[in-house]
Chain A
């Protein structure tokens, strides 16, 4: 099984999320109408954090209904991969002693409880699992459980959210139009330097000046994204670098391990990135 439910604590406490556009309002409106949502954006730009934030806002924040507050696991996140099958999502029989016991998968749980099910990088999953999406994302809102011979009707509070990274070319080919057109799409990208600096500072605790420099670094590295790495450097990596700095590692060295070496294997590209780092930072 490859699914993972987000720990309770992450949703009980308000996750930090800095809006960059109107994505919050759009999501709220989509949820209101129970329109499935597709999040498009490069890796490490905040899609998963956004989903966590919106889940908190809808299920634990001000204005959330008592019914939604009662949902124990309001967010089920599944990191999809090529071996993820329908069984992994829907559920399977397990052996317990001499008995076979049915266990719901994350999708079934979400459908039953009225939670948000977030399928991250859905196109990586096998074809039989993407087929499940169709019946859940049209007017039927049903989930067939073949092995039990059941058809689950989605709870009123259920919402399906999927994400994918448009930087991978094969993705566009594999996400069929019939699947794509069941979702409203919100585009994500790396935030502006100012906002990214704010995020970095908040996530790592590093001072504003360093955070700003890291954000500038990220912005500049992204200008190279056509030279062998399609996405530039993610906000996540910048946060990692900041965290290393906070823990006492020199700024240049932190960026070297967290960014330069992680982003590209091309020695000249790595060299150029290292020079960007040494322009912005000094270990002295």
Chain B
């Protein structure tokens, strides 16, 4: 009977799918003999039912048949029939859930997992009940669950199922996403720890799971993962979603080591607000994460501030506020380069007697570097606990770099100053000579490496000999460096050597050993061979008080000999190996680039231009390269064209390029780079033309430190004819302005002795006079002292708004047709004490170009003309004045144009620049005012005036977070004017914006602003204002 049934089922299946039928037969064969007839009959019935369940039912049956061995193993016939029936019940509009169910069972490979089948079914049933038509979701559930079970086993599996339970009440798409994300994971998280998160925030749970793969790739520890989950729960409890925070954490994680992450997590917990957590992530690279002692009180202050003022607290934690930065620096002992840049710059200049620009190193790089023009240092130093010590680290970095220039390969050849013999004035070995010497070795690369290691060591030893004050810090830095190198070695850096061949590894180890010896390491544990001792002996030559570069070369020869004798395989061209890591405080130097740049720095601008032109000419350019490469630059020869045998030079150069490191830039590229840097440096030395300014944020009640970057331009488009044309067109106005300024009287009082009349008696002269009189000598009666007004001590800066709106044409309303009416209403009463008679009778308006029929004039033209007329009148007065313009776009691009500086003459070039001013973009007034104030204070004059000519209120696209509000810009500008007043700079704002009263009354105190009703009045009013402020 049973066999007949089996055969019958087979026949039925054959009509469905041949392969399925075959599979059925095989499976049935295993069951016959195991199952009794009744069970076998039940089983056949089940199989038939499955096969007749619908489209593609044969696929489901295949999966079921595949699962039969597992089912029999798991629970025998009851499991076989029960699970089969369960799977059959899953069949509905789709076969997927049943397929996934049976397929999942088929792949279970461990007995311990069988226990979980009931749970899987139970949860699956719930899921089906919640989302009846969601067959895809159900299939996904089964697939995911069985994959997890098969891969990870049964531990923690119940918790996984509990997640589905929890998410059942949320939206369907959450579950869909859950299963999709989990299936992509290479390893599962600890599900139990995620239960809490799932209960708190489904969105955060899903976001976390999306990050989990990356956490695993980064080998994030289990505790850290747990901590992050706890944080998410913490945020969720406050009804904050932390998705953004997680995303940002993901981005910065690769740059944080375990300790730093610990600190970040600790701080985030302490902050407990998602807002502050985001701010912490923003500031993470600036925070001294190794210094909890400093961070704790700083963070506490930020959290406390947040409770009172959320924006201020956030800005504090994000290190956007000036006080926050100052507090942290003080607490952390961090030395910031920007705080000491000028001091270090001065130190450099004093030390070597020439300018070497000190700049910040690229973010992430922590060792110094020099190319002869610029010396780059890390942005901050946190090696030690206190700022003074960290500053000393900067100093030692500088001193080591400068050592190369003072007594190293870049020391100048000293000419004897006196005729007596002086040992220190002997010519030092130049880099060109060094390179020539090293080129003689078969392995130039190895010789160069040895030379640089030994030379770095010599520099340090020489510093200690010459400068007693450096010894202590040098010793500390060497010790720290050795500790760091030991730690790197333990951390597995030495594994890198394992990947090398025996010879390569040996040479690399020797070079590292040599480096450590230059750091005064007493013993090198790994190397106690004879070569170790020999290396030490060789180094003693450069440790002596008067060791010079020649001795380094000698030492290099010995060490090269020692190394190649022990490892002859390295004594050949092309052999290279891993270089020792850069010693942190010593940094790197590019000798060839330095040498080229040093030579270029000695040239004047004209010669640089000649060289730049010559470089474009290929053949002669090579001669220049050769000259520079040989430290033999002779510009005169070049100018005269006296170059011998360019062909030979070409050949030599080719050969040398092959010898030199192929990875480095070619000499030609270095020359080009050096020329470019030298030329740019002449035009725009970067540190002189870029300025950082704080900005006042009234929302947080503090300054945003170094918020704005102002670029000062002194080279700009010129229009020399503009000034002459303007003066010619407005000759009457110009005359009026001159008359106004001529009324200014010298103000500085000087005592003049020996006058006929004065406020005091000059005692000495009086006595002398009386005595001479007694002696019968006829003398003059000039025995008085008078205080006379001899000169003015005034500096004024005219600051022109160059925003885009100044490109607007002057409208008839602005130009004012009725002269008398305009004159009567011109002054709004805000600037008292003006004499209007001149205005009315001198005919300012008579030849006003603003009323002529001509091409439309623009506001910027009016501003320029006012400045031109003032400049023309001031040249006879003797006051110092400057004319500048400002515009820009955004806080990082505030543009400040200097047409004429205080000490510059009002030359053709200054006039051209003034004429060349044109409308640009925005009006970020605050930094422009601060920069102008700085310029005025630097003059040292007693009276300092800042006169701003504008056409509207301060605005910029990021001038405050709320773009629709003017408040931020107005308040920052107000603050900038207050700062100016505190530095004794008198500010005055002139605007042609008819609604200027609205904001100027807030920005400027009474009588310190004026709204010009008629733009034609601007020159006249400007001269009156000038008189008022400086008179």
Q: Which residues of A contact B (CB under 8 A)?
A: 20, 83, 87, 92-95, 100, 102, 147, 192, 194-195, 213, 220-221, 223-224, 227, 252, 268-269, 271-273, 275-282, 284
A93 engages B771 (CB within 8 Å) = yes
B307 at the A interface (CB under 8 A): no
Specify the main secondary structure of chain B where it touches its partner. Answer: helix
Determine how close the nearest CB of chain A comes to the CB of B90; give it in whole angstroms: 80
B418 engages A20 (CB within 8 Å) = yes
Determine how close the nearest CB of chain A comes to the CB of B205; give it in whole angstroms: 55
A234 CA to B471 CA, complexed, in Å: 28
- Provide the residues of chain B in CB contact with A271, threshold 8 Å: 343
B350 engages A93 (CB within 8 Å) = no
A94 CA to B424 CA, complexed, in Å: 59
A227 CA to B468 CA, complexed, in Å: 26
- Provide the residues of chain A in CB contact with B422, threshold 8 Å: 192, 194
B771 engages A100 (CB within 8 Å) = yes
A100 engages B351 (CB within 8 Å) = no
B772 engages A93 (CB within 8 Å) = yes
Q: Which residues of B contact A (CB under 8 A)?
A: 342-344, 346-347, 349-353, 395, 399, 417-418, 422, 424, 467-472, 753, 764, 768, 771-772, 774-775, 777
CB contact under 8 A between A268 and B774, given known A87-B768, A276-B351, A280-B469: no
A93 engages B395 (CB within 8 Å) = no
A279 engages B470 (CB within 8 Å) = yes
25 contacts between A and B (CB under 8 A): A83-B753, A87-B768, A92-B768, A92-B771, A93-B775, A93-B777, A192-B422, A194-B422, A223-B351, A224-B349, A252-B469, A268-B343, A268-B346, A269-B346, A272-B344, A272-B347, A273-B350, A276-B351, A280-B467, A280-B468, A280-B469, A281-B469, A282-B468, A282-B469, A284-B472
A268 engages B342 (CB within 8 Å) = yes
Determine how close the nearest CB of chain B comes to the CB of A191; give it in whole angstroms: 8
Q: What 6 A-B pairs come out closest when comparing CB atoms?
A: A272-B346, A100-B775, A93-B775, A223-B353, A192-B417, A279-B469
In the complex, given contacts A93-B775, A147-B775, what are 7 additional A-B residue pairs having Cβ atoms less than 8 angstroms apart? Answer: A20-B418, A220-B351, A223-B349, A252-B469, A269-B346, A271-B343, A276-B350
Among A94, A95, A100, max chain B CB count under 10 A is at A100
B350 engages A221 (CB within 8 Å) = yes
- Provide the residues of chain A in CB contact with B353, threshold 8 Å: 220, 223
Output the nearest chain A residue to B396 by Cβ-Cβ distance.
A279
- Provide the residues of chain A in CB contact with B343, threshold 8 Å: 268, 271-272, 275
Determine how close the nearest CB of chain A comes to the CB of B83; give it in whole angstroms: 82
A95 CA to B768 CA, complexed, in Å: 10
A95 engages B774 (CB within 8 Å) = yes
- Provide the residues of chain A in CB contact with B777, threshold 8 Å: 93, 147
A279 engages B467 (CB within 8 Å) = yes
Output the nearest chain A residue to B420 by Cβ-Cβ distance.
A194
Among A93, A227, A252, max chain B CB count under 10 A is at A93
- Provide the residues of chain A in CB contact with B471, threshold 8 Å: 282
Please pick, from A87, A102, A272, the residue contacting B350 in the complex, using a CB distance under 8 A. A272
A252 CA to B469 CA, complexed, in Å: 10
- Provide the residues of chain B in CB contact with A252, threshold 8 Å: 469
- Provide the residues of chain B in CB contact with A87, threshold 8 Å: 768
A176 CA to B772 CA, complexed, in Å: 31
- Provide the residues of chain B in CB contact with A268, threshold 8 Å: 342-343, 346
Output the nearest chain B residue to A148 by Cβ-Cβ distance.
B777
Output the nearest chain A residue to B418 by Cβ-Cβ distance.
A192
A194 CA to B425 CA, complexed, in Å: 11
A281 engages B347 (CB within 8 Å) = no
CB contact under 8 A between A276 and B347, given known A93-B772, A93-B777, A194-B422: yes
A220 CA to B402 CA, complexed, in Å: 13
Among A147, A213, A271, A275, max chain B CB count under 10 A is at A275
A20 CA to B346 CA, complexed, in Å: 29
Determine how close the nearest CB of chain A comes to the CB of B692; give it in whole angstroms: 16
- Provide the residues of chain B in CB contact with A20, threshold 8 Å: 418
- Provide the residues of chain A in CB contact with B342, threshold 8 Å: 268
- Provide the residues of chain B in CB contact with A275, threshold 8 Å: 343, 347, 395
A268 CA to B343 CA, complexed, in Å: 5
A95 CA to B771 CA, complexed, in Å: 7
Determine how close the nearest CB of chain A comes to the CB of B407; give it in whole angstroms: 12
A83 CA to B764 CA, complexed, in Å: 10
- Provide the residues of chain A in CB contact with B424, threshold 8 Å: 194
